[in-house]
Chain A
């Protein structure tokens, strides 16, 4: 294994993070909701995909599409059933954050009881491998990166070419003002949760297919995505999320290769130092 190989692995990881991070950033920047349960949405899609594809033998694509749909609806349901009632009763950011933690605890407990903690992998058979010089790249990683590029491209068009996208950007800049000038916050909110959760669902399906999942995979992935978002900053949603994800992918790949026992430490020390030095993110 040489440095370039580790870098290639890091970019592969970055693809997974980027899909989770951009949805989290979208929700946090527009609605000020620290959506820990975004990790739950992500992992639920993974489990649904696993159940359909591996356990029931249903095809790759229909299982994946169904899992993404479940994720999108789950994210919306969490907002409607948990976050909105809290906000309506005068709760604030902390209350929503704590309740979000509660949601992820419940789902994690469910998966724990269901799988007894066993990691499940959906992928069967070997993956195609491409070799370029001393670096080998898995075709799946290239597919993930292609999906990420496509998703980010579509998100860019959505944010900058549609009316809802304009409203989303308005909310990011100044929520109360956006509402005053006639942004339909409720409808925009629904769009945001559906879209962000669907993207988490795509990431969940890919992760379940590629690396396997366990009950705590969701929370772990989410925290890495959170650090990525903090790193990239939220002034420019897409740019911040992708830069943060790439940086975190490379960081975790190198840390995991050279000193795996300090992997978590390096991620969260980075987060704490970053919050202390530049809470607005490196590019905020």
Chain B
């Protein structure tokens, strides 16, 4: 039971991340392969403030969202002059840059590679309350994202994705629109990072490599671009499936490779047969 609740919390974390990533890739048309960096910023901010400064975890979580937004905005600004493929390549580079930053500069608990010993409030302390709290926060994030994409800003965002020059010609600023959605996405990812730390109890730099960014792309791609429902479906189906491999008795040393191989095959299958994913309203262009 405890393990099921843990898997539930994990799904919630990845739902928030997938929604955040879909906001920029699916709705904004900005290909990101570097969101693992913002996830790491959120996780490290929340865990450090909580462990070393004794800040209560919900305040630390808010700080993680702010840090995620700030780092996302700061890293986006120089990349704005790039477009298409080179933009994606630069965000891919961010993974490696931030991995070394986490590895060399981030605080760590003595005798380990990462951080542990979070002081969690009652609402996050036991497996069942943690699942309920995480679920509530996830629902709030989903509703906020739905509201955002349904609003006039959401329309502007999709228009910026499809016809930036048309957006500019009616007096709106496409670049400001891109910065806004990227920052919102960074905030959500940072928040998810804090919840990720609370779910795992332990974080270290290896959680935030290119592999995590690829994972996000798989979840979003399978669920479907420009669809909030897809970003719920993707992580739930895939985490559910790979965890069920554990229950049918696959030896644990093959679990990682099996999952990785499956995700690789899914990426290829998606790109050949169904680029819009399960319920997507847009596909990987170019």
B85 within 8 A of A: yes
B263: min CB distance to chain A, Å = 6
Q: Which residues of A contact B270 (CB under 8 A)?
A: 98
Please report the C-alpha to C-alpha distance between residue A151 and residue B258 in the assembled complex, in whole angstroms: 38
Q: Which residues of A contact B256 (CB under 8 A)?
A: 109, 112
Interface size class of B (residues with CB under 8 A): 35 or more
A91 within 8 A of B: yes
Q: A265-B96, A272-B97 are in contact. Are A99 and B272 (CB under 8 A)?
A: yes
Most buried by B among A94, A104, A105: A105
Contact of B284 among A98, A108, A268 (CB under 8 A): A98
- Are B104 and A85 in contact, with the CB atoms below 8 A? no
B222: min CB distance to chain A, Å = 12
Interface residues of B in 212-228 (CB under 8 A from A): 214, 217, 221
A55 within 8 A of B: no
Please tell me which stretch of B57-65, B87-95, B149-157, B193-201 contacts chain A, meaning at least 4 of its Cβ atoms lie within 8 angstroms of it. Answer: B87-95
A92 within 8 A of B: yes
Q: Which residues of A contact B263 (CB under 8 A)?
A: 102, 105
Q: Count chain A residues whose beta carbon lies closer than 8 angstroms to a beta carbon of B.
A: 40
A113 within 8 A of B: yes
B244 within 8 A of A: no
Q: A93-B286, A275-B89, A276-B82 are in contact. Are A112 and B271 (CB under 8 A)?
A: no
Contact of A272 among B84, B93, B285 (CB under 8 A): B93
Please report the C-alpha to C-alpha distance between residue A189 and residue B261 in the assembled complex, in whole angstroms: 28
A95 within 8 A of B: yes
Chain B residues with a Cβ under 8 A of chain A: 31, 78-79, 81-82, 84-86, 88-90, 93-94, 96-97, 99-101, 103-104, 214, 217, 221, 253-254, 256-261, 263-268, 270-273, 275, 284-286
Q: List 7 A-B contacts (CB under 8 A).
A: A93-B85, A101-B264, A103-B268, A108-B264, A109-B260, A223-B96, A261-B100
Chain A residues with a Cβ under 8 A of chain B: 34, 82, 85-86, 89, 91-99, 101-106, 108-110, 112-113, 116, 223, 261-265, 267-269, 271-272, 275-276, 279
